[in-house]
Structure 1
Amino acid sequence: MRKRATAKEVAEAAGVSKWTVIRAFKPGASITDEAKRKIMEAAEKLNYSPNLLARSLSTNVTHQVAVLVDDFANPQKLPFLESLTERLQAEGLVAMLININNHFDHVHALLNADQRLVDAIILLGTAFRDETLNDRRLGPGMPPMFVLARDSQIEGVPAVVCDSEVGLRDIVDHLHERGYRRPGFMTGASALSTALKRRHHFAEFWRQKGVDHIVDISAERYSHEDGAESARRYLQETPASERVDVLMCENDILAIGAMETARSEFGLRVPDDIAVVGFDNYELGGTPAFGLTTYEQPCREMVDLIVEMITGKREGETISLPGKLVVRSST
């Protein structure tokens, strides 16, 4: 590994003290124009740049934000990550991505982020439980936490989320107007404190229209494979005359997997034999191959709000934003 030039070496080359070099790279610090000129010339010659991590030891601010993700099989995470990292970088912050998996659970991820002195933690679609945050290893000095793209029922942890109640009302109104009366709902991975609540609102709005029975179909993960397998299992076990006439999936990748299985393995026509609806407006769902009716989350607006909370420009509070119903050929 290359040896970094130090502030001491720059100071010797410029004929000043090490502390003068440090002040030269600190915005607003008192230093003469001549001293700063000498320091910058020496720094350029030595290819020196300030050590931000070392500076954070004195300021207690690292400008790093940990982003915890545990469902990479869901492609909708990519647009959120792209928008989030872009917005953080525009504020002079850097995202530290932490993959939650079988070898690195939520508690260990939080402890790891705390040890790296991050300024904040964003839970991006992670299934956090109250008992996780009550773990005795997590002390009161943990960085502030925020939930993005899911509801939060955890006290002191604000969330920015797409308003699922408004979204599911619009979806059910659309399906009811199209004449569907035997709805089913495919859920993804179970999540307690940061639940999506889409299944709850879907059932409630159908009850208001006189439809009390919702067929439940469960997938273990938010993935194409799990959506396909769950649809396969349901269609194999259910006679054609008893099947749902519309299947609402908790997100688009489940809907795409279910739609492919219904068409290719069971010869069903979409929407003639079974209509399919997703949620997120994932890019692939909008192609002619799928024409998936879905609900688009206001991704950029959600990211803007959570970054404003992290940077102190807005009070930390849970906020729900309306999205947009996108009607296509699958319904």
Structure 2
Amino acid sequence: MRKRATAKQVAEAAGVSKWTVIRAFTPGASIAEESKRRVLESAAALNYTPNLLARSLATNSTRQVAVFVDDFANPQKLPFLETLTEQLQAADLVAVLININNHFNHVHALLHADQRQVDAVILFGTAFRDETLSDPQLGHGTPPMFVLARDSQIEGVPAVVCDAELALREIVDHLHARGYRRPGFMTGAPALSTALRRRQHFTEFWEQKGVHRIELLSAEKYSAEAGARGVRDYLAGTSAEDRIDVLMCENDILALGAMDEMRGKFGLNVPKDMAVVGFDNYELGGSSAFGLTTYEQPRQEMVEVIIRMISGELEPETVTLPGKLVVRSST
């Protein structure tokens, strides 16, 4: 294998000191233009690139951000991850993706992230327990944490979220105006401390309109299969005259699975027999096969805010941003 060129070799080729080479590759460092030109030309000739890990020892920053994810079955994660990694890289940061699962829990993930000396941790779709922070395996120097796209009730851990209260008010106002009066709500995976508050607001706004019975359906996890199973269990155990007339699903993936099951196995017409609403504005939901009414999160703005917090441009604090109701044929 070819050995990497070193800063010392570049310095010798350019006729400068090793420290001049280091300054040439350090943004904002003081260096004469002529010296910088000779260094960059010699570096290009030797195919030299600076060692970022070595630089991190001097700067006390690895420019790495750990991203914890635990629900990969939810395809809506991909557009968020695309936006997140794109904006991290634009800010000269790099994502370290960590899969939270039965074999690698949050404690292991935090230890792993700390050993890599990441600059921050983003909890993205993870059921994080606040008591995890008191685990004896963890030291006092764990990297700062942020929650993306979920509420955080963990002291000292800010969240950047879509405004759930505004979103559910707009959704319920829309459904009520369309004449629906027997609503149901399908929850996804239990979310512990980072629980979504969509169900709570959905219930509150219906109660304000005089509707006090909200049928609860559980899907246990975020997947189309789980959404189909949740609505199957409900429809099989409920007579046609007693059924809800509109189902709000905690996200689009549940809604798509539920719609498939309603139409395919039970022969229901959406929205005539039962209307369906999702959340996230997943691309497939906008197809003519589904026409799913949903709520679009401000993905670009949410990611931008969390990166500015990590970079120190904004004070770390919980931020809620407005989204947009997208009305289609399912309601």
Tell me how far 1:243 sits from its aligned partner: 1.2
1:191 CA displacement: 0.7
Q: CA–CA distance in 1 between the matches of 2:211 and 2:26?
A: 65
Q: Which runs of 5+ in 2 are unaligned?
A: none
Quote the residue 2:300 is aligned against: 300
Amino acid at match of 1:211: V
Cα offset, 1:265, TM superposition = 0.5
Partner of 1:322: 322
CA distance in 1, matches of 2:292, 2:269: 13
Offset, 1:90 = 1.5
Instruction: Determine the structure 1 residue equivalent to 2:64.
Output: 64
Q: 1:123 and 2:113 equivalent?
A: no
For residues 173 and 199 of structure 1, what CA distance do their matches in structure 2 show? 15
- Deviation of 1:33 after TM superposition, in Å, equals 4.1
Q: Counterpart of 1:4 in structure 2: which amino acid?
A: R
Equivalent residues in 2 for 1:236-247, closer than 5 Å: 236-247=236-247
- 3-state secondary structure, aligned to 2:191: coil
CA shift at 1:20, angstroms?
Answer: 2.9
Counterpart for residue 73 of structure 2: 73
Aligned equivalents of 2:27, 2:282: Cα separation in 1: 42
SS at match of 1:196: coil
How many angstroms does 1:136 deviate by?
2.0
CA shift in 2, pair 1:234/1:42, >3 Å: same
1:25 corresponds in structure 2 to 25
Higher alpha-carbon deviation: 33-42 or 269-278: 33-42
Cα offset, 1:16, TM superposition: 3.5
Query: AA paired with 1:105?
Result: N
Please list the CA deviations of residues 277-306 of structure 1 after superposition, one character each: whole Å capped at 9, or x if unmatched: 101111111111101111111111111111
Partners of 1:320 and 1:204 in 2: how far apart? Answer: 19
Distance 1:261 1:2 in 2: 58
Q: Match for residue 145 of structure 2?
A: 145
Partner of 1:87: 87
Report sequence identity in percent.
Answer: 75
Distance 1:310 1:205, change over 3 A: same
Aligned-pair distance for 1:327? 1.1
Structure 1 position 140, deviation (Å): 2.2
User: Does 1:157 find its partner at 2:157?
Assistant: yes
Q: Which amino acid in structure 2 is aligned with residue 6 of structure 1?
A: T
DSSP 3-state at the match of 2:96: strand
> Which residue pairs with 2:6 in the alignment?
6
The farther-off stretch of 87-96 and 27-36 is 27-36
- Residue 195 of structure 2 corresponds to which residue in structure 1? 195
> What is the letter of the counterpart of residue 89 of structure 1?
Q
Matches of 2:24 and 2:303, distance apart in 1 = 34
Task: Tell me by how many angstroms 1:212 deviates.
Answer: 1.2
Distance 1:315 1:50 in 2: 31
Secondary structure at the residue paired with 1:126? coil
**1:118-267 matches, cutoff 5 A:** 118-267=118-267
Aligned residues: 331
Q: 1:51 aligned to 2:51?
A: yes
Distance in structure 2 (CA, Å) of the matches to 1:116 and 1:199: 38
Amino acid at match of 2:79: P
Structure 1 residue identity aligned to 2:250: E
1:2 Cα deviation after fit: 4.3
Amino acid at match of 1:281: N
Gaps in structure 1 of 5+ consecutive residues: none
State the Cα distance separating 1:72 from its structure 2 match: 1.1
* Deviating more after overlay: 2-11 vs 292-301: 2-11
Which residue identity is paired with 2:154?
A: I
SS at 2:194's partner residue? coil
Aligned to 1:271: 271
Calculate the aligned-residue CA RMSD, in Å. Answer: 1.4
Deviation at 1:3, TM superposition (A): 2.4
Q: TM-score, normalised by structure 1?
A: 0.96
CA distance in 1, matches of 2:29, 2:327: 57
